Amino acid sequence: MLKKLTVALSERSYPIYIGQNILTNFQSFPLKSGERVLIATNDTIAPLYLNAVEKMLEENGVKVDTVVVPDGEKYKTIETWNTILTSLLAKNHTRNSVLIALGGGVIGDVVGFAAACYQRGIRFIQVPTTLLSQVDSSVGGKTAINHPLGKNMIGAFYQPQAVVIDINCLKTLPQRELSAGLAEVIKYGIIMDQDFFNWLEQHIEDLLALEPNAMSYCIAHCCELKAKIVAADETEQDLRAILNLGHTYGHAIEAELGYGNWLHGEAISVGMLMAAQSAKLLGHFKESNINRIKQLLIRAKLPVTKPEMMSTESYITHMLRDKKVLSGKLRLVLPFEIGQVQVIDDVNQEIVLQSIELCQ
What amino acid positions are annotated as catalytic residues? 120, 142, 184, 226, 236, 240, 244, 247, 251, 264
Residue 142, interface with a second copy (CB under 8 A)?
yes
Residue 159: C-alpha distances to residues 77, 115, 135, 277 (Å): 20, 10, 15, 36
Residue 351 Cβ vs a second copy, minimum distance, rounded to whole Å: 24
Residue 105, interface with a second copy (CB under 8 A)?
no
SS3 1: coil
Rounded Cα gap, residues 335 and 286, in angstroms: 10
* List 4, 55, 147, 176, residue binding a second copy (CB under 8 A): 147
* List 1, 2, 52, 89, residue binding a second copy (CB under 8 A): 89
Site residue total, a second copy (CB under 8 A): 28
Rounded Cα gap, residues 336 and 158, in angstroms: 32
Residue 82, interface with a second copy (CB under 8 A)?
yes
Rounded Cα gap, residues 314 and 186, in angstroms: 27
Amino acid letter, 293: I
| Cβ count within 10 A of residue 215 | 24
Residue 51: C-alpha distances to residues 66, 123, 167 (Å): 10, 22, 18
Residue 119, interface with a second copy (CB under 8 A)?
yes
Residue 95, interface with a second copy (CB under 8 A)?
yes
Of residues 85 and 135, the one with the C-beta less far from a second copy: 85
Site string for a second copy, 149-178 (x = CB under 8 A): xx--xxxxx---------------------
Residue 231 Cβ vs a second copy, minimum distance, rounded to whole Å: 16
Rounded Cα gap, residues 201 and 204, in angstroms: 6
SS3 141: coil
Contact 252, 319 (CB under 8 A): yes
Residue 78, interface with a second copy (CB under 8 A)?
yes
Residue 86, interface with a second copy (CB under 8 A)?
yes
Residue 55, interface with a second copy (CB under 8 A)?
no
Q: Where is the binding site for Zn(2+), in residues?
A: 184, 247, 264
* List 38, 85, 139, 225, residue binding a second copy (CB under 8 A): 85
276: Cβ contacts below 8 Å, ≥ 6 apart: 285, 289, 290, 293, 334, 335
| Cβ count within 10 A of residue 348 | 12
The closest alpha carbon to 255, from 150, 110, 104, belongs to: 150
Residue 74, interface with a second copy (CB under 8 A)?
no
Residue 241, interface with a second copy (CB under 8 A)?
no
Residue 115 Cβ vs a second copy, minimum distance, rounded to whole Å: 11
Q: Where is the binding site for NAD(+), in residues?
A: 71-76, 105-109, 129-130, 142, 151, 169-172
- Applying CB under 8 A, the residues found at the interface with a second copy are 78, 82, 85-86, 89-90, 94-95, 116-121, 142-144, 147, 149-150, 153-157, 235-236, 323
